């Protein structure tokens, strides 16, 4: 157990988050997503709430400020305007954490599976809600001189 670190951020997950560099992408998935199909490392987080896992990750993971959509979601039912409650709550979560203007990039379902082949790693949760799959692009931590 580490002081000041969310307990959902266990060894393998912390290691992957630390190894990622600027622009690397992390896929966070629900229990129905075929996480192992992409061939990328999969970190299983035994939590039924993708929102809790994402909150923990975002406590140490900066989103990229150099791209228009550092947070992307899978399109729902071939309708880019349609969202799920988990998608809406995640966007609220990110906006409330200091990025009030952020909007989702929306990726059609089949294209999402192709994009998954280029991510750094996959975080597989036990979230039951369908379409609860997201790609986060890692940003830069700026230091003051």
- If DSSP states are collapsed to H, E and C, what string results for 76-128? ECCECCCCCHHHHHHHHHHHHCCCCCCCCEEECHHHHHHHHHHCCEEEECCCC
What is the structure's pLDDT at 3? 87
Separation of alpha carbons 43 and 79, rounded Å = 30
Domains within the chain, CATH numbers bracketed: 11-136 (3.40.1650.10)
Q: Mapping DSSP to helix (H, G, I), strand (E, B) and coil, where does residue 138 land?
A: strand
pLDDT > 80? residue 139 = yes
Separation of alpha carbons 14 and 23, rounded Å = 17
pLDDT in tens, 19-44: 999 999 999 999 999 999 999 999 99
What is the structure's pLDDT at 100? 87
What is the structure's pLDDT at 35? 96
Which pTM does this prediction carry? Answer: 0.94
What is the pLDDT averaged over residues 134-143? 93
Catalytic residue set: 22
Q: List % helix, strand, coil for the chain (3-state, nearest 5).
A: 30, 20, 50
* Residue appearing with tokens 């949760």: 125
pLDDT in tens, 51-105: 999 999 999 999 999 999 999 999 999 999 999 999 999 999 999 888 889 999 9
């Amino acid at each position: 157990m580490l002081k000041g670190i969310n307990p959902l951020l266990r060894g393998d997950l912390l290691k992957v988050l630390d190894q990622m560099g600027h622009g690397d992408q992390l896929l966070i998935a629900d229990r129905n997503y075929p996480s192992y199909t992409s061939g990328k490392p999969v970190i299983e987080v035994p939590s039924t709430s993708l929102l809790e896992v994402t909150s923990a990750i975002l406590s140490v993971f900066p989103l990229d400020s150099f791209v228009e959509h550092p947070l992307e979601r899978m399109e729902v039912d071939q309708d880019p305007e349609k969202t799920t409650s988990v998608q809406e709550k995640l966007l609220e979560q990110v906006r409330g954490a200091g990025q009030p203007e952020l909007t989702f990039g929306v990726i059609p379902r089949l294209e999402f599976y192709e994009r998954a082949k280029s991510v750094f790693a996959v975080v597989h949760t036990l979230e039951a809600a369908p379409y609860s799959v997201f790609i986060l692009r890692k940003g830069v931590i700026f230091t003051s001189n």
